[in-house]
Structure 1
């Protein structure tokens, strides 16, 4: 994916109601029990509204994976150190991650982006900084860096649109990013860190308490303004969160549906929706992750997850796992005969 310039405004319009109504009518005419595919039908209607076309197609799918290091790792908030970020990021380049293997099966193309890994990596680079600073000691990044991270995500969405991708999936790689995500969610939702912080990649009970206290310290020291999502992102967030927020914004700007993965992706979606509330209409949730704050973010965004598998891997794996369900729903939507076609009386709404 080549680096190129993008529209820097966040102009987002509403869903196309006419396309949604036509899509709804098509569902009602298909020879099956009305609303038989439940929320999968709603998802296709939403995508029709996003695309402005009831002839929905998501054959070309892209998983955008934002990779970045987080300075707060030096506080012992993770089971591993930051060197793992670069190792796994390079594995993305070689197709050797869980998300890559699942994507291959689901027909998803994977685009890892080094937005802030602290060493040189093998993946496409749109690096804003060589990792963030330790938010427990001061702001994680400057406001300018936070803005640049968002614009990197918008660029990624723009490039995918130019390449013909019809749906974007969000993923990330960055040791310590459940800590930054919990901090962002804590501030934006006005919750104590204890309410929104989980064990991430395998912390002990003692480690979880330390993680919560580190977040509390970072918030008290930096005093992020909950009314200013960019300030929150800069002071206690991460470059990967900023990049994914940009993907959500870019998807809405360019009328492409964007699939939310787990907690880090949800934190980014929350930032994007606080910047521009209409972005929410362009987001499809995938699953209920095991992190403590996930259900609170989903509730805040008015989203109900499709999958309840207890997944907590990240990388975009849950977003990828949703794709076969949407593909199967679309197969019915496109190819199932209507009631006239099989000469039976249509079901009626009661």
Structure 2
């Protein structure tokens, strides 16, 4: 029997990307001869990647992966979504068959896709074993009237997310594009964000990926309001908060984000669901958001609230709300371009021909690469 999960451990294990190397990246950039600000945010991205990789000049992004957590939510039975309750498995099949927007972009950008079923409302044998092996339960509970998960299920889901992060780091994934597929997930995300930001349900209730009508919006707002009443008493315990109103997929995504930060694996966030999980992760370990990028803004008010709290400025504003990591994938070419420019633009004197001092990578230490420093045990 493993020890009970202590989220306080993440505050000690998560450290910021190397500030010294970010300064070195800035100094190298000045030696390229380009005017300051000429590359806009690409400069900032390149410096961020260099500090995350603990290497100047930065390595190209060579092994990205789209990781998508999937699940159904009991609250969807209240008519809060444009899709029928319990139909997230259809979205998963579409992605696995390569027919979803995210799957099309991933194929075009040559990004492998991994789907992790945490609580789909279907029999496990309807999907491949590699998709369902981390499943905690069949659909999460109805957050407006009951806990989405038991405490034991919440810990299991959180550890599953950590395990997936470890598996990706061990496999050499150097950048994760994080997505979600769910029915009712934006209602859970809105509840978490409203609770953590201290706002009313109406402030965070958006139209979701399906563009819901006014009556559905009112039902969704009522569900978030009722979920908020249940969430506020447990705000001091982040794992209990996720069990109360988050559900298995959001709980796993939070564990994934935190363990990715421990393992020094940068992550691009997609929409409101990943933003909600990041906000919970920030409450657990305040340095963790330094390892995450906001890929795009969806137009969801809850996402805007969360990103403001996280101090993350989205790379793109295309209003993509279909989920599955679609919007975050659109940001990937920008990140790759920033890495290429930071790595390949010639830098003049002083210093080495590539603008870096001898032994930069060695001085940073092997524990600063993805998969480096000791991780919270997810077993």
- Structures share a fold, TM > 0.5? yes
1:44 corresponds in structure 2 to 46
2:175 corresponds in structure 1 to 167
2:104 corresponds in structure 1 to 101
Is contact 1:61–1:165 with CA below 8 Å preserved after alignment?
A: yes
Is contact 1:62–1:109 with CA below 8 Å preserved after alignment?
A: yes
1:69 corresponds in structure 2 to 72
2:355 corresponds in structure 1 to none
Moved more, 186-195 or 102-111: 102-111
Is contact 2:86–2:139 with CA below 8 Å preserved after alignment?
A: no
User: What SS class does the counterpart of residue 112 from structure 2 fall into?
Assistant: strand
Counterpart selection for 2:214 from 205, 224, 228: 205
1:136 corresponds in structure 2 to 144
1:301 offset after TM fit, Å?
A: 0.4
Render the CA deviation track for 1:268-306: whole Å, top value 9, x for unaligned: 111111111111111111111111111111110011111
Note closer, same or farther for the CA distance 1:179–1:255 as it changes in structure 2 (3 Å cut): same
> In the aligned structure 1, how far is the partner of 2:28 from the partner of 2:323?
35
Is contact 1:259–1:285 with CA below 8 Å preserved after alignment?
A: yes
Q: Which runs of 5+ in 2 are unaligned?
A: 351-379
Note closer, same or farther for the CA distance 1:294–1:247 as it changes in structure 2 (3 Å cut): same
Moved more, 187-196 or 83-92: 83-92
Is contact 2:230–2:244 with CA below 8 Å preserved after alignment?
A: no
1:339 offset after TM fit, Å?
A: 4.9
2:377 corresponds in structure 1 to none
1:223 offset after TM fit, Å?
A: 4.6
1:346 corresponds in structure 2 to none
1:293 maps onto 2:296 in alignment = no
1:326 maps onto 2:346 in alignment = no
1:185 corresponds in structure 2 to 193
Counterpart selection for 2:316 from 307, 316, 322: 307
2:33 corresponds in structure 1 to 31
Relative to the length of structure 1, the TM-score reads 0.91
Counterpart selection for 1:92 from 92, 95, 98: 95
User: What SS class does the counterpart of residue 295 from structure 1 fall into?
Assistant: helix
> In the aligned structure 2, how far is the partner of 1:296 from the partner of 1:92?
29
1:113 corresponds in structure 2 to 116
Relative to the length of structure 2, the TM-score reads 0.84
Render the CA deviation track for 1:136-183: whole Å, top value 9, x for unaligned: 221111222222222211111111111111011110101111111001
1:55 offset after TM fit, Å?
A: 3.4
Is contact 2:140–2:247 with CA below 8 Å preserved after alignment?
A: yes
1:315 offset after TM fit, Å?
A: 0.8
1:214 corresponds in structure 2 to 223
> In the aligned structure 1, how far is the partner of 2:221 from the partner of 2:15?
38
Is contact 1:224–1:231 with CA below 8 Å preserved after alignment?
A: no
Counterpart selection for 1:256 from 260, 265, 268: 265
User: What SS class does the counterpart of residue 318 from structure 2 fall into?
Assistant: coil
Is contact 1:68–1:118 with CA below 8 Å preserved after alignment?
A: yes
1:280 corresponds in structure 2 to 289
1:14 offset after TM fit, Å?
A: 2.1
> In the aligned structure 2, how far is the partner of 1:27 from the partner of 1:55?
10
User: What SS class does the counterpart of residue 116 from structure 2 fall into?
Assistant: strand
2:204 corresponds in structure 1 to 196
1:240 maps onto 2:243 in alignment = no
